[in-house]
Amino acid sequence: MESRTGKIREIARRLLTEEKVDVVLGYKAGTVPLRNIPFFARTPEEVESLIWDSNGRINLANFLPRREDRIAVAAKGCDVRNIVNHIIENQIKREQVYIIGVPCEGMIDPELVYEREGRLIEEAAEADGKLTVRGNGFETVLDRNELLRQNCRICQHRNPPVYDELVGEPVPEEGDVSPLEDLEELLAKADSERYEYFHDLVKTCIRCYACRDACPLCYCHVCFVDEHMPQWLGKSIDPRDVITYHFLRAFHCAGRCTDCGACESACPLNIKVRQFTRLLEKDIRELYGYEAGLSLDKLPPLTVYLPDDREEFIK
């Protein structure tokens, strides 16, 4: 981790000094433990604030659409896949973005830390795969790898598939982890039970739209929930409107989602909103053999027409 920080700074400094880019996007330490800030470094001095640790849960690709400048991004596997998405979907030009690829060892889920400790964490420090957390009268050392977010535990693409420069050596991919094991029970349910499951999943949703706004895929100028002439969706917390929002958000992501987990990490109420998108990505893999953001030459299946498309779902 420490060596990645050093290398990212070194690359960032060089890119800015040589005027290859106008800005370098990475993470900076936040003001609360276990939370990083997306940080835009524009000078060699600002580069000194860049860090790399296990709290980079915000997907930095989210800050690329509609940019005019040349930007370098310190991007982990999923971030790069979303940058690839953006390039394919014409949200940024390939030559505009310099990808500092960072092989990723997964990001931690602060909720798991709180679950273990059950008390307020006031400070956290990370070194050599250990996370030391401190609070009022206690200090605990935890194993970082046991605290990873669920999407990081099942991740199959920790190494950036596309990059201009790689920070350090690639990390081993966790090839033997089943991405759907925990969903088997849900998949076995009847439609009505599944509906009930999703209904329950979002019952505490306050419609702050953090899941949408943290998602790199959600770059529409006006989101369907905000359209008002006509207005498609009610604004209250009526369960029908809440679940309609979540279903539609997920469907708009089908075939484009990289399971980066930014949506879930952004949710202030810890709602497992990835359950929607994970099921759709499973369908996309099975129907089209496609995974988002792995290649600049392949378009997301739902954006292209192919004469030999499988059409078994049309009855």
Site string for other proteins, 205-234 (x = CB under 8 A): -xxxxx-xxx-------x---x-x-----x
Residue 31 tokens, joined: 């003001």
| Polymer length of the chain | 315
Task: Out of 1, 5, 20, 40, point to the residue binding other proteins (CB under 8 A).
Answer: 40
Task: Out of 63, 198, 219, 247, point to the residue binding other proteins (CB under 8 A).
Answer: 63
Cβ-Cβ contacts under 8 Å for 165 (sequence gap 6 or more): 11, 98, 99, 100, 101
Q: Site residues for other proteins, window 10-39 (CB under 8 A)?
A: 30-32, 35-39
User: 3-class DSSP state for residue 152?
Assistant: helix
Cβ-Cβ contacts under 8 Å for 58 (sequence gap 6 or more): 27, 36, 38, 214, 262, 265, 266
Q: Site residues for other proteins, window 252-311 (CB under 8 A)?
A: 265-266, 268-270
Say how far apart CA 4 and CA 76 lie, in whole Å.
Answer: 11
User: 3-class DSSP state for residue 241?
Assistant: helix
Residue 50 tokens, joined: 């860049």
Q: How many residues bind other proteins (CB under 8 A)?
A: 40
Residue 148 tokens, joined: 């990873």
For other proteins, the closer of residues 263 and 284 by Cβ is 263
Q: Site residues for other proteins, window 110-139 (CB under 8 A)?
A: 111, 114-115, 120, 122, 136
Binding of other proteins at residue 48 (CB under 8 A)?
Answer: no
Name the amino acid, one letter, at 73: V
Task: Out of 3, 43, 204, 303, point to the residue binding other proteins (CB under 8 A).
Answer: 204
- To other proteins, the closest distance from the beta carbon of 160 in angstroms equals 22
For other proteins, the closer of residues 137 and 289 by Cβ is 137
Is residue 147 within 8 Å of 112, Cβ to Cβ? yes
Q: Which of 207, 175, 177 is nearest to 273 (CA)?
A: 207
For other proteins, the closer of residues 44 and 234 by Cβ is 234
> Which residue ranges make up the site for other proteins (CB under 8 A)?
30-32, 35-40, 58, 62-63, 111, 114-115, 120, 122, 136, 204, 206-210, 212-214, 222, 226, 228, 234-238, 265-266, 268-270
